[in-house]
Structure 1
Amino acid sequence: MEMLLQLIFKKQVIKFSCMKKNLLYLNKMSQKRRLFVCDVCGKSFSRQLQLKKNTDTHSERRPFACEQCPRRFRDSVTSEKHRLRHQERINASFCCPLCAKTFKTRTGLKNHQLVHTDARLFVCAVCQKGFKIQPARS
């Protein structure tokens, strides 16, 4: 008995007798829909907006500037993620007096402060070697 594969494409059901024919058809149809080709890298896209985003990655133009530091970004999404990092630092209420790094919790600050000392409080049970930070459990 022959197994039929069905593909719904543009609201019509297309039946294939094997997976290979199905994949060939899908590949052919996706190539037809990729009308926008990047002149720089040759990638093709089905939408003009996708092409524009790709083209922007090849540009040295960085129109989105951070208001709190000199960094600039190609797109608004990356710029916003960066801005939120600054906001997290502002909201952090525990500051290391030695390096000014900030933390959201007192425990985070205490753990960090160990890097500024020679104390090796965490000892390996196997080799007896001391570490400044607690190793991850395996």
Structure 2
Amino acid sequence: AHCSKAFKDKKALTVHQRVHTDERPFACNSCPKAFRKQTALTDHQRVHTGERPFTCACCPKAFKDKKALNVHQRVH
């Protein structure tokens, strides 16, 4: 065992173990990057597609991931 972290289910443990093994099974088709989680790949692919599905309710700006939207919303 690499660390003493505990997880609620086997999937969460499997994903966490990739931190220790550096396994990155989710590869981008458009560049050499690869990711530990499917969701990280999905967010990354928006760099290539230009998709910005997270829109601000207060202004016309849109973002490729929810974290960027949350950071932006602090300006309002």
Offset at 1:50?
A: 2.1
Aligned to 1:49: 39
Larger radius of gyration: 1
Cα offset for 1:40?
Answer: 0.7
Give the TM-score, by structure 1 length.
0.37
The Cα of 1:80 is off from its aligned counterpart by 1.5
Label 1:66 to 1:46 Cα distance change in 2 as closer, same or farther (>3 A): closer
User: Which has the larger share of strand?
Assistant: 1
Corresponding residue pairs, total: 58
- Structure-2 change in CA distance of 1:36 and 1:77 (3 Å): same
- Give RMSD over aligned pairs: 1.9
How far residue 57 of structure 1 moved from its aligned partner, in angstroms, is 2.2
Q: If the length of structure 2 is used for normalisation, what is the TM-score?
A: 0.60
User: 2:50 maps to which residue?
Assistant: 60
Identity rate, percent: 33
Unaligned 5+ runs, structure 2: 3-20
